[in-house]
Amino acid sequence: MLDVNEPAYKVCPVLLREDCDGRQYILAFEHPCAGLQLVKGTIEQGEAAEEATLRELAEESGVTTATIVRSLGDFEVNSPHQIWHAFLCRAAYLEDSWSHFAQDGGGLTFRFFWHPIEIAGDDRWHPIFRQALDQIRIALRQN
């Protein structure tokens, strides 16, 4: 039985790209039922956070060439019982946008794109991911 007093540990791979003017963009996607989001997932029992990060990135986006650069730290998002571990990742060349069929929720197609990191999420973003985007922006400034 799930203990509601135990925090749930999540991972959030952060992939960035930079344009020729030095502006940074974060990988995001449109969930067909739940607004704009970042890749995030649960750490499975016995799995290291780094392993979960790369697994979730591959499962949700199809990106299998990523490596972890460094931790961006831990933060709470929308719930005192959910701790997110964010990791800055690097991957070989990625398209400007693509769609990926993920097994989540019985099978869904996610549409991936690059969101300007300095722009806060608007009302198209799921509220939890608006908070996460803010936390990641702060972590990137501190690192």
With CA atoms as reference, report the closest residue to 37 among 81, 90, 80, 78.
78
- Asked if the structure places residue 1 within a domain, the reply is no
For residue 127, the enclosing domain spans 11-142
The pTM (predicted TM-score) of the whole model is 0.92
Q: What is the number of structural domains in the chain?
A: 1
- Asked if the structure places residue 94 within a domain, the reply is yes
Confidence of residue 5 (pLDDT cuts 50, 70, 90): low
Lowest average pLDDT, out of 17-31, 71-85, 91-105, goes to 71-85
Helices (H), 49-122: 49-61
CATH number of the domain residue 91 falls in:
3.90.79.10
Burial (CB < 10 A; 0-12, 13-18, 19+), residue 4, is: exposed
* Mean pLDDT on 70-92: 90
- Asked if the structure places residue 2 within a domain, the reply is no
- For 51-69, the pLDDT digits (tens) are 999 999 999 999 999 999 9
- Asked if the structure places residue 3 within a domain, the reply is no
- Asked if the structure places residue 103 within a domain, the reply is yes
pLDDT at 105: 73
- Asked if the structure places residue 85 within a domain, the reply is yes
- Asked if the structure places residue 5 within a domain, the reply is no
Burial (CB < 10 A; 0-12, 13-18, 19+), residue 139, is: middle
